[in-house]
Amino acid sequence: MEINTLPLAVGHMIGMGAIGSCLGIGIMASKYLEASARQPEMMEPLQSKVFLLVGVLDGAFIIATGIGLWFALANPFR
């Protein structure tokens, strides 16, 4: 009897990517709000950097999801 662990691996890949991305965005947003409350004049310069980093964090999750779905549908290890 062969146990197929690919669905478990794909679920972990997508789930851990989502958790990491959400935690990273949450921590970064809280630090941005904290910094802008302390120094309101820095809101504008920091806002563009925050949006850039949100895109990078979401991009990493989307890439992990794409690779996970590729493994689930194509299964290159068979």
Which residues have a catalytic role annotated?
A: 58
Query: Dihedral, CA atoms, 58, 63, 69, 74, nearest 10 degrees?
Result: 170
Q: What is the DSSP letter of 2?
A: -
- φ, ψ of residue 2 to 5 degrees: the values are -100, 130
